[in-house]
Every structure is written in C-alpha cells, then in structure tokens.
A and B are shown apart, each in its own frame.
Chain A
Amino acid sequence: MTEPHKTGTATAVESEPEAPHRPAGLGLIGWLRWGWRVLTSMRTALILLFLLALAAVPGSIYPQRGIDPDQVAQYFSSRPQEAEWLDRLWLFDVYSSPWFAAIYLLLFISLLGCIVPRLARHAGELRRRPPAAPRNLLRLPYGEEFEGDLTVAEAAALLRKRRFRVTTGPDWVAAEKGYLRETGNILFHFSLVVLLFAFAGGALYGYRGNVVVVEGESFANTVAAYDRFMPGSRVTAESLHPFSFTLKDFQVTFIAAGERTGQALDYQAALTVRDAPDAPAREAVLKVNQPLEVGGTQTYLISHGYAPTFKVTDGKGQVAWEGPVPCLISDRATYASECVIKVPDARPEQLGFLIRFLPTGVQAGDAWVSAFPGTVNPVAQVFPFAGDLGLDSGVPQSVFQLDTTKMRPLGKMTAQPKPLSVGETLELADGAGTIQFTGVKEWISLQVSRDPGRLPALLAATAAVLGLVLSLTVRRRRIWVRVNDRRITVGGLERTDGGAAAFAKEFTEIVTALRADRVGPTPPPPTAPPSAEHEEER
C-alpha cells in the first residue's frame, strides 16, 4: 500500500472527542449539560447502536404477536409459566416494547444532538470562503515548489475548472472541494429520522387485516368481515375504503413429474371487484407479487388451501348443514388437510365431524395418504361424533377444533376409515343421518393493508442511500497556491480519512497542470526534484 499513515489535524476531521469527564459541583445546569454531551458523544452512539442490534435479536428467536399470534398462543399453551415471564419482559412484542423504544429513541436523540450542530456548522461553511493560505505551504502533508510565471488569476481559473470553490488573496489562492460529503452525511442521518416517523405514522394511521375467502364467496372491506383485524390506534371504521370483491375462481399449477413434483408453479385468483358500493364491477387477477390496489388499500394473496363441500342430513331427514368447509393444511408437500364440521341444528342430537381431506388420495398399506397437492383423486375420511358440541357454554371455540368431551363417536372409530370420493355418502350409525361429500372448492387467505407511511418511507430510504453514497465516496480536500515572484508553492490537505491514495494522485495532477500551464518552454526546469524537498522537510 502506498498510503501514508497520517497523524495530526488531517485525520481529526471526522473524529469525535471522547466523552467529557464528570463535572465537579456544577449544579443542575452543569449536570444537564454534561448529560447532553455524554448522550450526543460518538461513544454513546456506538454503544446505543450495539444495544439496538442486541435488542433486535430476541425478536427473531421468540414468536412475535405482531407477526404470528398463533405461534405465541401455542407457546403459552405448551410452556405457560415460561411464556408468562417472557411476556412480562415484552419478549413476544420486542419491537413495540418500551425497552426497544427506549434504545432507538435515545439513539435518535443522540443522532439529532450530533447532526443538528453539524448542520448549522455546515450551513456556515457552505457560505464561507475557503480559509486563507497558511504561511508555509510546504509544511502541509502535500507540498510542491517550482518556478514559473503563474499568476494568481490563472491558478484560480485552473482550480475553478476542476470544480473547486476558490478564493484569492493578493499573492495566494485557496481552494476547497468535496462539500457534498458532509451534505450527504447530514442528508443520510436526517433521512433516518424521517424514515422512523414514516414507520411510526404508518403504524398509527394504517391497518392490516386477514381474511379467508372460499371460491364463490364475497368480501366487503368492513371491520366485521375480517377474521383478524389489526388497526393502528388512529384508525376508525371510516378509514376503511369501501371496496368489495367476489372470488370467482382460483387456479394453482403444480409440477407433475421429476424431482420437484408437487412444487407450485403459479397461483392465480380471478376476482370481480367493485371499487365502491356504487361503482361498476371490474375483473381483476390476484397473484403472489401482484396485489390488488383499490384507493390506497392493497390486497395480497398470502396462501391457499382446500375447502371440500359437504351436505349433512340429520336423523329427522332434514338438511342440517351444507356448504364448503375450509381445511387447515397439515402437510405442505401434499396438501393433506384437516377440518371440522359442527352441525348444531342436527336433530335429535348435535353432530360433529372431523374430516381428513386428501387431494390425491392413495392407499399405502392400511393408511390413506395424499400423493400430490393437486386434486387428482380427491377423497375425504370422515370421523363422525354425536352429542353436545358445547357451543352454548359461552366459551369461544376455534372453528378448527372439535370439543369431543360431551360427544361420542358414531359407529366403530378406526384411525383409517375408508374415504369418500366426490358424490359418495356415508350412512351414520344409530340412525343419526347421512353426510355426503359433494365437491371440492379452494380457499385463499388474503391480507388487506393500508399504510400511509409507505411513500414517505420510500422517499426517505432513497434519500438515505443517496446521502450514504455521497458521504462515503466524496472526499473533502483543500489546495493552496502561493505566488511569490516566480516561486510558486502548492500545498494540499486531505480532509477525509482513507482518501490519501486518491488525493496524492490528484495533487500530482494539479501540480502538473499548474506547471504545464505556465512554466512554458523557456524557463529553466525546477531546480530541485520534489523528492529532495520532501527529504528536507522531514
């Protein structure tokens, strides 16, 4: 490496002083001032950065309520005591916890405390002219001397052409370049503050909701229509844009052969959308990576599954239940799924069914399994129960669970009953009625979200990258030229750590240009080679 190890003023530009010592007996104001200086020191900022990184870790280890509340509930049921303690420490809500907020708020205050004075200083520097030339330019880290009849105006013109900011005195030129470095630096840090506000604004004024829609069903954007609705604290019912849609059809394409059999190639949902209750219907296609946008509200396709349709006739011959039942996927590779039908209106007794749905049912020994996620041979294994569903107790129940404590299995219960194909009917034991497997539909789960902070966040992030690139690539440097009769001295100061190699090259170029411009063929060559001058200097 040709880079010299530099010390002294040149590298101190970006350095921060160490945290000041504790004041002795300065009173309240003194203590406050000391506290502020400690908070805004670079060392504190560094420690806060580490704390922020460290504090973010548990959020990737423990399930988070804001992301996957079901997993949190599962944690509570499997390890209740541990979960309670974790919850007390906000470990299921790390990113909205007071201690996480404390760290990033302190960090941002520290950042502002550091960057606002820098902004003021930089604004001053932008208006000020470059400082006058020091007395002995050869004492600078970069110095050259030669003879020629260069004038102050000519040197200034040459440096201006190289996009330096130039000021001149009677026998000197001062030039500075690279102000964009500090501009970029300040822009970057301010953009981070804007980004934080955009994020917070989106959380306050935006909402997210999840809903499952079966083929043929409709959805209207109201709070009641959601299976799960997560509003920001400033969201009201009027904030929801009143659009609606019907899921006409859902198509999945799977790979049918080879090592990747069963991998999905494409999902596609065909919707009929109304942008407002009185608006005309329009057709739309919803895909992964291709959301539906209506009035600033996005609807995303998140996942899909099967909803086999059944018809339950009770012991009295009445049709007590009919329709599709969305199933939870128990095996992602084959889409073997499970679901529950509850028939509270069945007489003489309430009926409940556990269903195992296999999109491509094949027999493997005694067991039935699904061999492929597509519906090649859809079959359903039915486990019927009769008795009290327990719906009147007032305790909320999951639609995916059957409480069989007050129910008895109908007939001889086996682990692998003979499955029904589409159209087939199972005769229930004890004359309890029949259940018919009538067909297969598909469900999709959607996320509907509105985030007014999206665009500000994007603008802030773009500005941050721009500022970052400027602050890391632009180098701040100064050049002085002193003209003393025919003796020209040039001095250079690199004000950016790590830019020495590039500056050495640039400095040589400038000196060569100054020389070539004005030395001409007649004057004698410089008396001393530059290396010798440097030896003297040392």
Chain B
Amino acid sequence: MTPLVNEELATLSDQLTLVAVLLYLVAMICFALDLAFGRIHPASAVKAREPVAVGAGGGGPSSGEPGEAAAAGGAATAEGAPWAAKAGLAGIALTWIGWAAHLAAIVTRGLAVDRWPWGNMYEFVVGLCLAAVTAFLVLLFRHRIRFLGAFVTLAAALGLGFAVLFLHVQAGPLMPALQSYWLAIHVSAAIVASGLFTVAGVSAILYLVRKDRPSVLPTREALDTVVHRAIVIGFPIWTFAVIAGALWADRAWGRYWGWDPKEVWSFITWVVYAAYLHARATAGWKGKAAIIISLVAFACLLFNLIGVNIFFPGLHSYSDIPR
C-alpha cells in the first residue's frame, strides 16, 4: 500500500505554521508601536482635509476640530513620532513574510496529503486566518487601514495558536463524504468570506472602542467605511458559499437544503448580514446601530464556524476535532 501521507511535508507544514505565528506577533508589536506613537486622529472626519470633493449640503458633524485634538493630545503631537511610521512599514513587511510562511504551511499540508487542505477544523481555521490576513493586505492597497494591522495580526496569531493547541490533528486522507470537488469550491468561498467578515468585525469592534474624541485610531467614519467595504465584498461571496454548499448537499445527501444545524446557522449569518446592509441604507440605523448589527452577524459567523461543530450533532460533524 502506498503511503497516504508524506510525513516530512506534514511536519514542515506544522513548523511553517509556528513561523507564521511568530512573524505575526512581531508584526503586531510593530503595528502597535505605530498606533501608540503615531498620528492622533481627530474625533470626526470633518476637518482640514484635501480640498477634493467637499460635501455640498450644510450640516454634518460639526465637532472635532483640530484644536480639540491638540487639547486632548497632551505630550503627543498630532503628527506623532517620526519613527512610528517606519515601525508601521516594518509591520507590513513582516506581515507579508508571515503571510508567505502561512501560505506555504497550507500548501505543504495539501501536498502532504495530496488533496485540498480544508478537510477538518484545524485546516479550516488555519485557512480562515490566512484569508483574514490576505483580506487585510489586499484592502491595504486601496484603503488606509494600517491601523488594523495590530488587530488583524493579533487575531491571526491567536487563531493559529488556538488551532495548533486545540484543534491540531495529524494530516490524513479525507473521509468519503468530503471527497468531492465541491470541497474546494464551497470551503474556499466560506474561508474567503469569513476572512473578509473578520476584517469587518475587527474594524467594528474598534469603532465601538473608539469614542467620539481624538484617538490614535482613525475616525469613526473611516472605520465605518472599512466595515462596509469588507462586508459588501464578503456578502456575495458568503452567498455563493452557501449556494455551493446547497449544491454539494444536493449531490451528497439528497436534498439541497435540509435545515441541518450548520445550514441553519449559515442562513442566520446570511440574514443578519443582509440586515446590516439594509440598516446601513436606512435613516436612523446608520452608524452605531448598523455597526452593532454587523457584530451580531460576526458572532453568528463565529458560532457557525466553531460552535455548531462542537455543540450540535449534525451532518457537518465530521470536523475531526480531537477529543
């Protein structure tokens, strides 16, 4: 019988995962230094800004003038220490290297068992962390979200650490129910969407933590935009993941929708994210209320990813969690 697992590659994968955790932690420290000693942001976006495209109508938030920032800032200047920005750049570079190690860990795991590396809870969480870091790095091209770095790398390091400590199982072949090309499609989409929702979730928490006063964090409007962008991209992908899951269920279990606990909770997650998108376009729900809804949705997502596999017996209970 040919060996089912290439043990050397599997071990290499485990080591690369640890390397990624360490790199993310160092990157997190760099980002944190940037945050702590960097530029102080005013309470609101309405401030001295680039002259492009200023709103026509009157009104809008009127507080948060630069004077307030200076008053509250104390010793720190509004621009921050000059080396802080360099720490932030180093953080980005380290995150990229950590990301490469992380990706290599997943690829070697897949090569070790000659299949898509999404076959159990450990592999799923490792993939999810990669998706979150990827979402952050990609959004970084278009948006100024370096402030998120400390939190995303911390979340990724914690997620990977949790996976290594509590979920790790030896690399191995798939059980028959998972042997389908739908595994690649359905789980990949779920991982990508979850990564984007994680970025949105982190930004939403920062939104609530940040009060309406000057802070090292960006303005609430900026955070709100990041939450919205990430969810707007993530929501169709999540929808696709659910539909791909239904197609797979139709192939494997003889029905495309059967209210299995996992299906129920992905439906709930979908509905609450839909509620967020509606709330953000509704007068009186914009801002804090919509942000809280997005966090409820994120909680449903996390419960679906982890809680359902642990608490409810169901057809998705092949998560292969070590007992």
Report A's interface with B, CB cutoff 8 A: 1-10, 14-18, 42-43, 45-46, 49-50, 52-53, 56-57, 59-61, 64, 66-67, 94-95, 139-142, 199, 208, 255-256, 258-260, 263-267, 287-291, 298, 300, 302, 447-449, 451, 454, 457-458, 461-462, 464-465, 468-469, 472, 497-498, 500, 504, 507-508, 530-531, 534-535, 537-538
Contacts and interface: CB of A to CB of B under 8 A. Distances in A.
27 contacts: A2-B52, A3-B225, A5-B221, A7-B57, A8-B56, A8-B57, A46-B278, A46-B282, A49-B272, A53-B272, A60-B264, A60-B265, A95-B259, A259-B170, A260-B170, A263-B173, A264-B175, A289-B177, A298-B254, A300-B252, A302-B253, A447-B253, A462-B243, A464-B239, A498-B228, A534-B52, A534-B54
A153 B3 CA distance: 73
Contact of A42 (B5, B253, B254, B278): B278
B54 A4 contact: yes
A60 B268 CA distance: 11
Q: Sorted from nearest, which 6 A-B pairs have the closest CB atoms?
A: A8-B57, A1-B222, A300-B254, A14-B281, A60-B261, A531-B51
B56 A2 contact: no
A46 B280 CA distance: 11
A140 B233 CA distance: 29
Interface in B119-160: 143-144
A457 B256 contact: yes
Interface residues of B, number: 79
B267 A288 contact: no
A4 B259 contact: no
A140 B53 contact: no
Given A7-B59, A56-B267, A288-B177, A465 B243 contact: yes
B258 interface: yes
B144 A8 contact: no
Nearest to B233: A472
Given A16-B283, A53-B272, A288-B177, A5 B60 contact: yes
B143 A264 contact: no
A381 to B, nearest CB: 27
A15 B179 contact: no
Contact of B180 (A5, A260, A289, A464): A289
B254 A49 contact: no
Contacts of B243: 461-462, 465
Contacts of B233: 472
B264 A45 contact: no
Given A46-B282, A61-B312, A498-B229, 7 more contacts: A9-B57, A66-B258, A258-B5, A263-B173, A287-B176, A298-B254, A449-B254
A207 to B, nearest CB: 11
Given A57-B268, A67-B258, A208-B255, A141 B53 contact: yes
B220 to A, nearest CB: 10
Interface of B: 1, 4-5, 44-46, 49-61, 143-144, 169-170, 172-173, 175-177, 179-180, 182, 218-219, 221-222, 225, 228-229, 232-233, 235-236, 239-240, 243, 246-248, 250-261, 264-265, 267-268, 271-272, 274-275, 278-285, 300, 308, 312
A300 B308 CA distance: 25
B280 A497 contact: yes
Contacts of B225: 1, 3, 498
Given A1-B45, A449-B254, A260 B283 contact: no
A343 B115 CA distance: 50
A199 B281 CA distance: 29
B283 A18 contact: yes
Contacts of B261: 60
B66 to A, nearest CB: 16
Contact of B282 (A42, A290, A537): A42
B55 A141 contact: yes
Nearest to A210: B254
B320 to A, nearest CB: 9
Nearest to B281: A14
A5 to B, nearest CB: 5
Contacts of A9: 57
A112 to B, nearest CB: 15
Contacts of B5: 258
B123 to A, nearest CB: 14
Contacts of A45: 278
Given A7-B60, A141-B53, A472-B235, A53 B253 contact: no
A57 B233 CA distance: 26
Contacts of B182: 289
Contacts of B219: 1
Nearest to B172: A260
A199 B143 CA distance: 41
B181 to A, nearest CB: 9
B51 A500 contact: no
A53 B266 CA distance: 10
B15 to A, nearest CB: 19
B265 A1 contact: no
